[in-house]
Amino acid sequence: MADDDQPEEAEGGSAFAVDTIADRAVRFGCGAILASLIVVALVMFGLPVPFGMAGVVTLGILFIGAAGLFSVTHGERFIRGLLRVISWL
């Protein structure tokens, strides 16, 4: 008899195949933190000189938000890409 509480198990998938809100929040946080490290590194390398500090802050906030969203939608592949960028910097 199939249990209706666990549809993932009935289809042959694992119970960890479904993302919870906590999983998405952790992925968003990881992507945002890694993106903020990239923004801080670029500021330390002198990015604000040609663009001005207001432009860098605005673009940094947009980049951090986009990186958080991409890490939620694409998962570990995007986070590994951010880690490669950090190791390159």
pLDDT tens across the length of the chain (89 residues): 555 555 544 455 555 568 889 999 999 999 999 999 999 988 888 877 888 888 888 999 999 999 999 999 998 898 898 888 888 87
Q: Give the model's pLDDT for residue 13.
A: 54
Alpha helices, DSSP H, located in the chain: 7-10, 21-44, 48-51, 53-74, 76-88
Question: Is-above-0.85 flag for pTM?
Answer: no
Signed CA dihedral, 62, 64, 65, 71: sign only: positive
Q: Give the model's pLDDT for residue 9.
A: 47
Q: Give the model's pLDDT for residue 12.
A: 52
Q: Give the model's pLDDT for residue 45.
A: 86
